[in-house]
Amino acid sequence: MSNFQIIENSPEWWSIYERVNTISPIPKEVWAQSKIEYCLRELSYGDFLVKQGKIPTKYAFVFSGVLREYYLTPDGDEYIKSFNFPGEFTGSYFDLLSKQPSTCNIRAITDCKLAVADFEDLSSLFETHIAWERLGRKVAENLFLKKARREYELLALDAEARYNILKETYPNIEDLVPQYHIASYLGITPVSLSRIRSKSGKLKKESND
Amino acid sequence: MSNFQIIENSPEWWSIYERVNTISPIPKEVWAQSKIEYCLRELSYGDFLVKQGKIPTKYAFVFSGVLREYYLTPDGDEYIKSFNFPGEFTGSYFDLLSKQPSTCNIRAITDCKLAVADFEDLSSLFETHIAWERLGRKVAENLFLKKARREYELLALDAEARYNILKETYPNIEDLVPQYHIASYLGITPVSLSRIRSKSGKLKKESND
């Protein structure tokens, strides 16, 4: 696992800035003054970014690879909260905000390249400039919208509808994520998922015929 | 349904300000300049504050009474997202942010007294002062934390554990909200809830003996 600082004005540094700007614009001079230290970190399949039970302090930007965010129950059951793809931020915002031992694990499903930074450094910026406050608001609003949609799916939709939404959101998810992880995210067994997939494949074939 | 403006510097006006301050402080002079028009509205049991399918524009502060926020599925099933009690804001932030037809209903469970205002007026303040941006961030963060906790409960906890958390959060909820609404919030049938309640009552009695 390599771990060295991302140099100011490097392509990686600017790619994080560009992504941040799509969430909420930060003036270039404000960004340059931010002094957040991003470190490049490589994870191999199975490596942890965040461990359940430990107080998390870091957030990360995904350059490449896929991670999964999941709870492990006392009985050893795994519940997948979300997947993280390239161009996304990760780090369990819930746990970073609550400052309690992490309620979840974040772990590499494939080899990953990430930029990792201290959440404390980011949150201390909120008070320094309205653009940082706005970014904080937009990030929280987006996460809230995502969670509210997920609640709706879990409460009001059946597994097949949830599967169809997942496929619409991430059309190539099945090439990147093993079926048993997708089943866990949908809250169903791998057997049920296989049944839904074969039904959906059949319907697709019929509509193409 | 009465509907008249809450006068600046009235006790109701200050009680909204005090509640806002517990979320994130707004300097008094900034609050006084905000020019948000709050109208007093009374709802009777069964009245709607927000109707599913209509684009919502209003948020509200609850002075008294209880409301429920729920989805109605095409089959006519009702899924309760949350309850709103005195001292809380309501209005389905999800739908206000997304500016789409509302995904839920908000409806009075008891007679209610509310202060109602335009969300547009509030959100236009975000850019005018860092204190408003911060309030927006805190509101979104709190809602995100609430939703993330709810997701955890729905995915990882059984109905009994979910019931116990609800009772801890709102000890007197059973005096205010009918059992079938509580069952819907927990995602179980009223019969299952009744079983859980009698088990929990029995355990309490045993530990007191």
A143-187, pLDDT tens digit by residue?
999 999 888 888 778 899 999 999 999 999 999 999 999 999 998
Identify the sign of the CA torsion A115, A120, A123, A125.
negative
Model confidence, pTM? 0.89
Q: What is the pLDDT of residues B4-28, one digit of tens each?
A: 899 999 999 999 999 999 999 999 9
Let me know if A157 is exposed, middle or buried by CB neighbors in 10 A (0-12, 13-18, 19+).
Answer: middle
How far is B96 from B107, CA to CA, in rounded Å? 16
Query: Could you tell me how many residues make up chain B?
Result: 209
* Residues A35-49, mean pLDDT to the nearest whole number: 95
Note whether A154 contacts B152, CB cutoff 8 Å.
no
Contacts of B137 in chain A (CB under 8 A): 126, 133, 136-137, 140
In this prediction, residue B74 carries a pLDDT of 79
Examine the pLDDT at A209 and tell me if it is beyond 80.
no
Contacts of B154 in chain A (CB under 8 A): 151, 154-155
* Residues B68-84, mean pLDDT to the nearest whole number: 89
Examine the pLDDT at B98 and tell me if it is beyond 70.
yes
Question: Measured between alpha carbons, how far apart are the two ends of chain A, in Å?
Answer: 50
Closest CA to A54 of A97, A94, A93, A103: A103
Residue of B nearest to A125 (CA): B134
pLDDT confidence band for B209 (50 / 70 / 90): low
Examine the pLDDT at A40 and tell me if it is beyond 80.
yes
**β B48-50/B58-64 pair status:** unpaired
Q: Are B76 and B28 in contact (CB under 8 A)?
A: no
In this prediction, residue A74 carries a pLDDT of 79
Sequence-distant (6+) residues with CB within 8 A of B103 are: A152, B52, B71, B92, B94, B95
CB atoms within 10 A of CB B75: 6
Let me know if A117 is exposed, middle or buried by CB neighbors in 10 A (0-12, 13-18, 19+).
Answer: buried
B154 Cα distance to chain centroid: 19
Does the beta carbon of B152 lie under 8 angstroms from any beta carbon of chain A? yes
pLDDT confidence band for B154 (50 / 70 / 90): confident
Examine the pLDDT at A36 and tell me if it is beyond 80.
yes
In this prediction, residue A66 carries a pLDDT of 97
In this prediction, residue B208 carries a pLDDT of 67
Contacts of A93 in chain B (CB under 8 A): 144
Residue of A nearest to B151 (CA): A151
| ipTM of this complex | 0.87
Query: Hey, what are B100's tokens?
Result: 């789409």
Closest CA to A8 of A41, A42, A31, A26: A31
Q: Are B67 and B111 in contact (CB under 8 A)?
A: no
Query: Hey, what are B80's tokens?
Result: 């309760």
Does the beta carbon of B200 lie under 8 angstroms from any beta carbon of chain A? no
Does the beta carbon of B179 lie under 8 angstroms from any beta carbon of chain A? no
Dihedral Cα B80, B81, B86, B90, nearest 10 deg: -120
Sequence-distant (6+) residues with CB within 8 A of A181 are: A68, A80, A83, A109
Note whether B151 contacts A151, CB cutoff 8 Å.
yes
Examine the pLDDT at A208 and tell me if it is beyond 80.
no
Q: What is the pLDDT of residues A92-146, one digit of tens each?
A: 999 999 999 999 999 999 999 999 999 999 999 999 999 999 999 999 999 999 9
Closest CA to B151 of A100, A53, A88, A92: A92
Residues 108-127 of B with CB under 8 A from A: 126-127
Examine the pLDDT at A2 and tell me if it is beyond 60.
no
Does the beta carbon of B99 lie under 8 angstroms from any beta carbon of chain A? no
Specify the long-range contacts of residues A23-29, CB closer than 8 Å, at least 24 apart. A23/A135, A23/A138, A23/A139, A23/A142, A24/A131, A24/A134, A24/A135, A24/A137, A24/A138, A24/A139, A25/A131, A26/A131, A26/A132, A26/A135, A27/A131
Of A130, A133, A141, the CB nearest to B97: A141
In this prediction, residue B157 carries a pLDDT of 85
Contacts of B156 in chain A (CB under 8 A): 71, 73, 77, 79
How far is A123 from B173, CA to CA, in rounded Å? 36
To probe the interface with A, which of B155, B157, B184, B185 has the most A CB atoms within 10 Å? B155
Specify the long-range contacts of residues B152-157, CB closer than 8 Å, at least 24 apart. B152/A71, B152/A103, B154/A151, B154/A154, B154/A155, B154/B187, B155/A71, B155/A79, B155/A81, B155/A154, B155/A187, B156/A71, B156/A73, B156/A77, B156/A79
How far is B53 from B102, CA to CA, in rounded Å? 5
Examine the pLDDT at B1 and tell me if it is beyond 50.
no
How far is A72 from A69, CA to CA, in rounded Å? 10
> What's the whole-number average pLDDT of chain B?
92
**β A67-72/B48-50 pair status:** unpaired
Query: Could you tell me how many residues make up chain A?
Result: 209
In this prediction, residue A1 carries a pLDDT of 46
How far is B28 from B51, CA to CA, in rounded Å? 34
pLDDT confidence band for A3 (50 / 70 / 90): low
Of B126, B136, B144, the CB nearest to A147: B144
Which residue did the predictor score with more confidence, B135 or B187?
Answer: B135
Query: Longest C-alpha distance within chain A, in Å?
Result: 60
Query: Hey, what are A204's tokens?
Result: 């697709």
Does the beta carbon of A161 lie under 8 angstroms from any beta carbon of chain B? no
Sequence-distant (6+) residues with CB within 8 A of B13 are: B6, B7, B38
- The phi, psi pair for A34, rounded to 5°, reads -70, -30
Residue of A nearest to B188 (CA): A155
Bridge partners, A79 (sequence order): A71
Examine the pLDDT at A204 and tell me if it is beyond 80.
no
